[in-house]
Chains A and B, each alone.
Chain A
Amino acid sequence: MFCSDFFTKKVVDEEIMINLRDMLNQETILLQAEADDWQAAVRLGGQLLIDSGVAEPRYIDAIIQCTIEFGPYYVLAPGLAMPHARPEHGVKKTGFSLMTLRTPVPFGHTENDPVDILIFLAAADSSSHLEAMSQIVTVFSDDEAFAKIRQAKDANQINELLNQMVDI
């Protein structure tokens, strides 16, 4: 009994240690992209989640459906959106992707439009993405880092910034 408890606990701990730095790489970062509107932007950045094997294509449809139903509640701050849906909408494992847009697009938010930085979240459960998400909060609560991400032309610049700002 104790052994199985220990094993379960250990697996959970390993899941919790998902780090933003490990999630964002050449494959999951797309900088200075072009999209005509918010749906095109969600499809383009969401494709990175599909290509990196963390979500099924229907996950992107779910994000668009949720946005139409509830509005752009995931537009977190001026210019910044974190599109996501729920685990049962086709998440295979927890992951993130980052996309910046050359030309910002409106999401229909009363005050934070237009958006040019999008962090896509695929959460496999309610907790394994929390550490990475608190790193996102740290990075984007810093105006200087925000500006650097907005201007970045190369994924290495993003990785360098995360290395500077995120411990562990």
Chain B
Amino acid sequence: MLKVVAACGNGMGSSQIIKMKIEKVFKKLNITASIDHMSVGEAKTAAANYDVVFCSISLINQFVVKNNRTKVIGLVNLLSEQEIEAKIVENDIK
């Protein structure tokens, strides 16, 4: 199963909104995923254990993951299911 983490500055607000939205889009695309959410500080250390990291575009530079597994996706509009879907397809996530 795909392992996904939603990250934001402190793990309380935006990351939970990202989680709500990506859950919906994964369901629509019939992708089974387990989705955690956490702060960027926690996620930086944990990122390598996930297949995909979703975060606000303003946090993307916080993640430097040196492996072939983890994809980091920065979102501009956290409420746009269209953007999330386009980026899932674009990054070949399944």
Asked if B65 CB lies within 8 Å of chain A CBs, one says no
Contact-residue bracket for chain A: 20 to 34
Contact with A along B63-81 (1 / 0, CB 8 A): 0000000000000111111
A71: Cβ under 8 A from any B Cβ: yes
Q: Is A32 an interface residue (CB 8 A)?
A: no
How many pairs of A and B residues are in contact by the CB < 8 Å rule?
83
Q: Which residues of B contact A109 (CB under 8 A)?
A: 57-58
Q: B12 is contacted by which of A126, A134, A137, A141 (Cβ under 8 Å)?
A: A126
User: Could you tell me if A86 and B10 are in contact, using CB atoms closer than 8 angstroms?
Assistant: yes
User: In the complex, which residues 44-80 of chain A have their Cβ closer than 8 Å to any Cβ of chain B?
Assistant: 66, 69-78, 80
Interface residues on B, range: 20 to 34
Closest-by-CB residue of B relative to A110 is: B57
Q: List 21 A-B contacts (CB under 8 A).
A: A69-B9, A70-B58, A73-B8, A73-B9, A73-B55, A73-B56, A74-B14, A76-B77, A80-B79, A82-B17, A85-B12, A86-B12, A109-B58, A110-B57, A111-B57, A121-B12, A126-B11, A129-B13, A130-B16, A133-B16, A133-B17
Q: Which residues from chain B sit less than 8 Å from chain A, CB to CB?
A: 8-14, 16-17, 20-21, 40, 55-59, 62, 76-81
A residues contacting B by CB (< 8 A) are 66, 69-78, 80, 82, 84-87, 108-112, 121, 123, 126, 129-130, 133-134, 136-137, 140-141
